[in-house]
A and B are shown apart, each in its own frame.
Chain A
Amino acid sequence: MASYSANSREEGRAPLPMENRERDWWLMPLLTVVVLTLFGIYTTFRAFENNYYHYTNNGADYLSPFYSPLLPIAWYLHLPLFGLKMVSPAIYILIFPLAFRLTCYYYRKAYYRSFFWDPPACAVAEPRADARMKYTGERKFPFILQNLHRYAFYAAVVIVIILWKDTVDAFIWTNPDGTHHFGIGVGSIVFLVNIILLSLYTFSCHSWRHFIGGKHNCYSCSCGTRSSYGIWKKVSFLNHNHALWAWVSMLSVWFTDFYVMAVASGMFKDIRIL
């Protein structure tokens, strides 16, 4: 082994003050905790509520993304999940987007920082000194499962396809005679914006970026890799703002469900634009 004369004093780190950063470092983690917690509470409530998720008045067809696709009642009633019976179908559906977001490379950063304080912010000391040597990162269970993010992505793609269908449905209105016509309500717009944002989030995924081209070392070497280069470049462009898509798509899903709940429960009325 080559040696470097720099005197190795690996043990003796400087007795520096622990805390040094400006006072505002906790703003981001706090914001993350508040928003994610609120979203969690809302989602849990709505998932168990099992009501007001499908608005069909006046020929509309707004199906909340929390409850799409509509599962046959018999199906979910008799499928035990964690010993729970008689729960809402949303449980079976939400588990997939939840897994996608939970293993997402962006959300991981967000919750490792704000919930686990690993680290709370850059160059801010982690408070749990006793846990210092126990840290294993993503090498041990359960965090080693993060390596399977791609499977959550595959499921998320299926969900996105289903939600695109729901969005199309949100533009198709049923006449009293059973025929259909094209129309736009405020809800339709909400659905459209939501699915666009969800698609941006889903297809800016790091695993997808790897799958579609990141795994290649030589793009110019074959026809196939050359075309995957083009897609990879575009995905990379989207990926650059993955965190942004993660936040806005989460808010839009929440708002879409809220909108459906509101119009279905009569909190306010959906307005027809066309």
Chain B
Amino acid sequence: MEKYTTYDQDVLVVGAGGSGLRAAISICQAGLSCGIVTKSLLGKAHTVMAEGGAAAALGNMGEPDNWKVHFKDTMKGGRFINNPRIVEIFSKEAPDRVRELEEYGAVFDRTPEGLISQRPFGGHTYRRLNHVGDRTGLELIRTLQDKVVSYKPIVYMEHTLTRLLMDGDRAVGAFGYNRQTGEFVAFRAKAIVFATGGWGRMYKFTSNSWESTGDGAGMAYEAGAELMDMEMVQFHPTGMLWPPGVRGILVTEAVRGDGGILKNNKGERFMFNPEYMPELYKGQYADTEEEGYRWLTDKVNNRRPPELLPRDVVSRAIYKEVLAGRGSEHGGIYLDVSQMGAEYIKRRLPSMWEQFYSLGGIDITKQPMEIYPTIHYTMGGIWTESETCSTSIKGLFAAGESAAGLHGANRLGGNSLTDILVFGKRAGDHAAEFAKNADFGKIDSSQIEEEANTLLAPFTNPGKENPFKLTQELQEAMQEGAMIARTEESLTKALNKVMELQERAKSIHVEGDRVYNPGWHTARDIRFMLKTSEIICRCALERKESRGAQWRLDYTDASEEWGKINLIAQRDGDAVKLIHRPVPAMAPELAAMFEEIK
């Protein structure tokens, strides 16, 4: 049997992004021992990529904003398959979570009154995104990192976990390896929080880092947890397109919030085309370009331009424009902010300017950007209970992008940074509560042995498959078949390819030893990616309608029936079992709010 080291922690937090760190703060505050496991170094998690801001209805901008409006915006954005109770908790607790960050050391941009400045964003009725220039995610993670470090938890940097250890139906630990040495590690914990992020890496053009391979969802699935809304993968309308070296890198929505306009190759602001305006948002956006411009300076008396419609709407419009032959030179659309002036751009969007200038060789103060939708976020994930963030596995909690239920079919920009704060805290609190009333479970060494063998197999495997090659093939298949516009045919093709790759993955072979060996790491990652991709395809095939991020060319309309259903995916031996579960009903007082505005 392979050697491994065992560590004991009251609560184990898997993932050191925003939600993991926020959970860790709560656990430390509860006086428990906390271990944080991260695949990277501390502070490098995907949270740093978030740019625009954290949405919370502080109402600092003189607009009548409150949690109810935020609730309504989020439900509408999610096309009503979000869990209303989760959204309620979210919008009510968001302001406190954001203000608390200031206490921890965050330094947001200010209003003239000295309060946190808020910017407008797609799908939000009022200016609601608390921000620091266009690097809000960095500010968040650094703030949380500094705060959590002051409690002196144990941070296991560059450790990958690959298996949830079960004691009957309860999660009691996790097993994996130290990336730096290749040594195996096992963690024993009374409670486990999964804050493992999303899985945008299975697409070719992605704004996600290598880390987003869906290990968390994969591990939870393999242990029998329920996954929900897995078909809902968000395409951010504006990813960098040219040159190829930068393809997929995100262009923040703040560019549009701060005056950036979308143009096709005829120079038309095509978002004003009434064809692209969904019924749900009619009358709430500017009808003319003049009003759109006026809104930049007078937000109270004008409506926002339609470039700021929710992400799924804008992505579809861009897709259609390009399809109709009105695309840019390299097959995208132009995003132009140059009319706002160099000084303004460099002050409001400094890191965007830098990103285009130094990575792409483009000066956005002088020329338009070429953009195309890129994979950005996964709304689906591990099913969680609304109050406690507990999953369908006892002792396992989930928060942030790895959890499902808040965003429904489409996430509004700015809601993810608040998501990780609100539910990071809740998951931490409730995991701590659970751990206080629990003992360490029993670790089953046969599970460890099984996983160790799985991990080591690629070294001795007689096969010839290259893990990087398989990853590339998977990304191409998913990009082609499960992107913005989906059909039965494209999804089936992608699914078949995924199944074929799953077979081939069994004969992956890697060279070298276990010390920091990327080939070996990828050999395990790809198995999570393949399983998650399979689930995405199956769920997308199952949901025979268009809703939010799920756009089916063969079922172009939203169906009332599907609007009441969340798709649950659960492991059933080697097969994926899909369950139709009714969307939780909205509490009467919340439902009444919708009657008011309708």
Direct contact of A and B (CB under 8 A): yes
Q: Are A5 and B178 in contact (CB under 8 A)?
A: yes
Q: Are A5 and B155 in contact (CB under 8 A)?
A: yes
Chain A residues lying within 8 Å of B156, measured Cβ to Cβ, are 5
Apart from A4-B157, A5-B154, 13 more pairs, CB < 8 Å: A2-B152, A2-B153, A2-B154, A3-B155, A4-B42, A4-B155, A5-B156, A5-B157, A5-B158, A5-B178, A6-B41, A6-B158, A6-B180
- Of the four ranges (under 10, 10 to 19, 20 to 34, 35 or more), the interface on chain B belongs to 10 to 19
Cβ of B181 within 8 Å of any chain A Cβ, yes or no, is: yes
Indicate with 1 or 0, residue by residue over B147-182, a CB within 8 angstroms of chain A CB atoms: 001001111111100000000000000000010110
Indicate with 1 or 0, residue by residue over A1-12, a CB within 8 angstroms of chain B CB atoms: 111111100000
Q: Which 4 A-B pairs have the closest CB atoms?
A: A2-B152, A5-B156, A6-B157, A4-B155
Closest CB in chain A relative to B453 CB, distance in Å: 24
How far, in whole Å, are A7 and B178 apart by their CA atoms in the complex? 10
Indicate with 1 or 0, residue by residue over B502-520, a CB within 8 angstroms of chain A CB atoms: 0000000000000000000
Nearest opposing residue in chain B for A2, CB measure: B152
How far, in whole Å, are A7 and B159 apart by their CA atoms in the complex? 12
Chain B residues lying within 8 Å of A3, measured Cβ to Cβ, are 154-155
Chain B residues lying within 8 Å of A4, measured Cβ to Cβ, are 42, 155, 157
The interface residues of chain B, by DSSP majority, are classed as loop
Q: Are B152 and A5 in contact (CB under 8 A)?
A: no
Chain A residues lying within 8 Å of B180, measured Cβ to Cβ, are 5-7
Report B's interface with A, CB cutoff 8 A: 41-42, 114, 149, 152-159, 178, 180-181
Nearest opposing residue in chain A for B7, CB measure: A5
Per a CB cutoff under 8 Å, which of A1, A2, A5, A220 touches B159?
Answer: A5
Number of A residues contacting the other chain (C-beta, 8 Å)?
8
Chain A residues lying within 8 Å of B41, measured Cβ to Cβ, are 6
Closest CB in chain A relative to B431 CB, distance in Å: 19
How far, in whole Å, are A2 and B41 apart by their CA atoms in the complex? 15
Closest CB in chain B relative to A14 CB, distance in Å: 14
How far, in whole Å, are A6 and B159 apart by their CA atoms in the complex? 9
Q: Are A1 and B157 in contact (CB under 8 A)?
A: no
Chain B residues lying within 8 Å of A6, measured Cβ to Cβ, are 41, 157-158, 180
How far, in whole Å, are A3 and B35 apart by their CA atoms in the complex? 10
Chain A residues lying within 8 Å of B42, measured Cβ to Cβ, are 4
Chain A residues lying within 8 Å of B178, measured Cβ to Cβ, are 5
Chain A residues lying within 8 Å of B154, measured Cβ to Cβ, are 2-3, 5
Chain B residues lying within 8 Å of A220, measured Cβ to Cβ, are 114
Residues 1-55 of A at the B interface (beta carbon under 8 Å): 1-7
Q: Are B149 and A2 in contact (CB under 8 A)?
A: yes
Chain B residues lying within 8 Å of A5, measured Cβ to Cβ, are 154-159, 178, 180
How far, in whole Å, are A104 and B149 apart by their CA atoms in the complex? 38
Nearest opposing residue in chain B for A1, CB measure: B152
The residue in A2, A3, A7, A220 that gathers the most chain B C-beta atoms within 10 A of its C-beta is: A2
Closest CB in chain A relative to B196 CB, distance in Å: 18
Closest CB in chain A relative to B541 CB, distance in Å: 42
Closest CB in chain A relative to B116 CB, distance in Å: 16
Closest CB in chain A relative to B39 CB, distance in Å: 12
Nearest opposing residue in chain B for A3, CB measure: B154
Chain A residues lying within 8 Å of B157, measured Cβ to Cβ, are 4-6
Q: List 22 A-B contacts (CB under 8 A).
A: A1-B152, A2-B153, A2-B154, A2-B155, A3-B154, A3-B155, A4-B42, A4-B155, A4-B157, A5-B154, A5-B155, A5-B157, A5-B158, A5-B159, A5-B178, A5-B180, A6-B41, A6-B157, A6-B158, A7-B180, A7-B181, A220-B114
Chain A residues lying within 8 Å of B158, measured Cβ to Cβ, are 5-6
Nearest opposing residue in chain B for A5, CB measure: B156
How far, in whole Å, are A220 and B156 apart by their CA atoms in the complex? 43
Nearest opposing residue in chain B for A7, CB measure: B180
How far, in whole Å, are A59 and B453 apart by their CA atoms in the complex? 99
Chain A residues lying within 8 Å of B149, measured Cβ to Cβ, are 2
Closest CB in chain A relative to B60 CB, distance in Å: 17
Nearest opposing residue in chain A for B114, CB measure: A220
Chain A residues lying within 8 Å of B153, measured Cβ to Cβ, are 2
Closest CB in chain A relative to B562 CB, distance in Å: 46
How far, in whole Å, are A33 and B238 apart by their CA atoms in the complex? 52
Closest CB in chain A relative to B9 CB, distance in Å: 12
The residue in A2, A3, A5, A7 that gathers the most chain B C-beta atoms within 10 A of its C-beta is: A5
How far, in whole Å, are A220 and B113 apart by their CA atoms in the complex? 11
Chain B residues lying within 8 Å of A1, measured Cβ to Cβ, are 152
Chain A residues lying within 8 Å of B159, measured Cβ to Cβ, are 5
Nearest opposing residue in chain B for A6, CB measure: B157
How far, in whole Å, are A5 and B154 apart by their CA atoms in the complex? 8
Closest CB in chain A relative to B403 CB, distance in Å: 26
Closest CB in chain A relative to B517 CB, distance in Å: 16
How far, in whole Å, are A19 and B158 apart by their CA atoms in the complex? 31
Closest CB in chain A relative to B236 CB, distance in Å: 33
